[in-house]
Amino acid sequence: MKVLFVSAESYPFIKTGGLGDVAFALPKALKSLGVDVRIMLPKYLQIPEFYKDKMEQVDVFSVPVGWRNQYCGVQHLEFEGLDFYFVDNEYYFKRENAYGYFDDAERFSFFSRATVEFVKRMNFIPDIIHLNDWHTALIPAYLKMENYQHLGKTNIKTVFTIHNLQYQGVFSKEVLHDVAGLPEHMMVEDGLEFYGDVNFMKSAINFSDYITTVSPSYADEIRTPYFGEKLDGLLNKKSNKLEGILNGIDYHIYSPTTDTHIFENYDINTTEKKLENKLKLQKILGLPQDKDVMMIGMVTRLVSQKGLDLVTHVMREILDKDIQFVLLGTGDEKYHSVFHYYSMTYPQKCSAKLVFDNTLAQRIYAGADMLLMPSQFEPCGIGQLIALRYGTLPLVRETGGLKDTVIPYDKTTVKGNGFSFSNYNAHEMLHVLEYALDVYKDKKVWSQLIKNAMNSDFSWEHSAKEYLRVYDSVLEEK
């Protein structure tokens, strides 16, 4: 089977969030199952020169953009046994950031059409084109255009993955009409139109052969008005071609046994070394070194989606308890101000590092006793998966992938790998935190929960097999 995996980002070249991890780890896992998989990305300015220097030009052609043609180069690089192709156009991609520009509609229309043009020209004709989020969402529509019909005769199928329904790629109809080059009939209600604008993601939901999202619970949630972001009606209409497949994490990258970022390596049989990570983390953060105090960690974007309104609402009550609170992340200024205030007011109990620091993130995952993730919604979540791998118990709200991966502790069986609460309510969260503190006092039970967490298996192997099943079922359809 041949699969072209198209994404706006991928580790190790460019990564702004979880999509970057998925776009490397899932193709890698698919290849281990015998799939001939290639990855297509924009060639951004931020890609390290180390990689750019190794890229080889494989094609040059022009891409229609509205009334004009734009230059497109395609460069190739093999990395860890995977073939990556990079769409090169400095006008669109030689910028300081990957996203967030006034012409993003044009930039990613170009990227999508360049991908289809390249498929026309390359020796590799995929059975499946696997698309990810709104940046790639016009590809199924382009494949249905008259000048790409011969590709349809090769029976190329499309699978579209929604990583976060909140980001849909909504633009004015005039802007898209001028750059996308799609026929008028694709701009009407059953195609791109969305409350007078055009919506890239709506296009992919309409024109793709199959739709996935990144956890089973999130697939159910987005079919409701609360989580559906005005697309719940369409998603219900397409429900026979929609399912959630849980993301995994790369267990080679996230491994307490080999992680070079943490202070002491350990495994499920040497969890006492986790305490050494805790003591050394306390030291570098300027907190009192105390192996018995519960350390609660948060590694997160500082945005409301991550449940920070709940945390800030009861922050004084949290800090009044026998705990240490460690936060790492950047985001909205209002949260920067709040956590800076608490770190200054409670310097012996609260550390807030308002930066992005991958090494410190890994040290928190390894050294903390519990990871707090009270998200308002969470399509899958990666933090809780990393925490489980490192034996740090997640405390989460029961939503999306958090609900699917964190099993609440059951004191009658001593089973479970974390703690959870249901309603988006600060005091319900606080009540569960207080319960976790009581459990923490029983070191024998807590030690078993650490082992339960580390025995959880959320590697990519299982998820890749699920995607392979989806690919097979799509290809069987006439």
pLDDT for position 189: 47
Asked if the model's pLDDT at residue 188 lies above 60, the reply is no
Average pLDDT over residues 359-375: 98
Binding residue numbers: 15
Give the contacts of 163 (CB within 8 A, at least 6 positions apart).
18, 19, 22, 132, 133, 213, 214, 379, 380
The answer to whether residues 253 and 28 touch, using CB atoms and an 8 Å cutoff, is: no
Which whole number is the average pLDDT over 85-103?
A: 94
pLDDT category, 195, cuts 50, 70, 90? Answer: low
**pLDDT beyond 90 at 403:** yes
- Higher-pLDDT residue of 180 and 49 is 49
Query: What's the whole-number average pLDDT of the chain?
Result: 93
Domains in the chain: ranges and CATH: 2-248+461-476 (3.40.50.2000), 272-457 (3.40.50.2000)
Known binding-site positions for ADP-alpha-D-glucose: 15
- pLDDT(192) > 90: no
Q: Are 318 and 342 in contact (CB under 8 A)?
A: no
